[in-house]
Amino acid sequence: MKTKWVIICLLLLALLPVTSNGRDTDVALKTNLLYDAALTPNAGVEVSVAPRWSADLSGNFNAWTLSGGKRWKHWLLQPEMRYWFCDAMGGHFVAVHLLGGQYNIGALDMGFSFLGTDFSKLRDSRYQGWFAGAGIAYGYAWRLARHWNIEAEIGIGWTYTRYDRYPCAECGSRLEKNHPHNYVGPTKAAVNLVYVF
């Protein structure tokens, strides 16, 4: 049930019309250098669907358990529609995106709260659950060469999650089951290295 909307979004992206403006459709592959720096494998694909519109789908997967029992395991899919102020895949753009995935996170010392979410709770407990949300974003793409771009993007939005809470990263007795939480804040941050075909 919780991943049905992700499958629906992927199908909708696959059904988007290909541009018919007399030029070849731009297709780009990308990687988010911020996720790469955090050792989180990720990839994205973007397709121009009209002269000023493109559809983007990015995802990442992190299956690592860090030293000391720290966990930041997750997978994430993020489909996005972009409106470009010039031509697709160059210059300023605004976007709307969806996001969804699952996580298993704990034993991380992040001693701060942000807009109603207390991240310091990650220090003493492990959280395992799913999330889904939506947001808006602004970005800019710099053309470096014929096939290469650098792209920066920041997005804000809302995410709904349900999780089970455990007393520590390695413990197995559950403290809370199917607990809901709403998050409002950044939903996307990217510095993408892009190859345009």
What are 70-100's pLDDT values in tens digits? 667 889 999 999 999 988 888 999 999 999 9
Residue 169: left (phi > 0), alpha (psi -120 to 50), or beta? alpha
Domain positions in the chain: 4-19+30-196
Span of 65-69, 93-97, 162-166, 192-196 with lowest mean pLDDT: 65-69
**Alpha carbon 188 to its chain's center:** 6
Task: Say if residues 141 and 150 touch (Cβ distance below 8 Å).
Answer: yes
143's tokens = 């053309």
Task: Say if residues 53 and 81 touch (Cβ distance below 8 Å).
Answer: yes
Percentage of the chain modeled with pLDDT above 70: 75
30 φ, ψ (degrees, to nearest 5): -150, 160
pLDDT exceeds 60 at position 123: yes
Q: What is the mean pLDDT of residues 130-154?
A: 95
Q: Pick the residue with more confidence: 139 or 179? A: 139
Which band of pLDDT confidence, cut at 50, 70 and 90, is reported for residue 21? very low
Percentage of the chain modeled with pLDDT above 90: 48
Q: Pick the residue with more confidence: 130 or 89? A: 130
Q: What is the dihedral of CA 58, 162, 6, 87, to 10 degrees?
A: -40
Task: Say if residues 127 and 70 touch (Cβ distance below 8 Å).
Answer: no
Question: pTM of this prediction?
Answer: 0.78
Mean model confidence pLDDT for the chain: 83
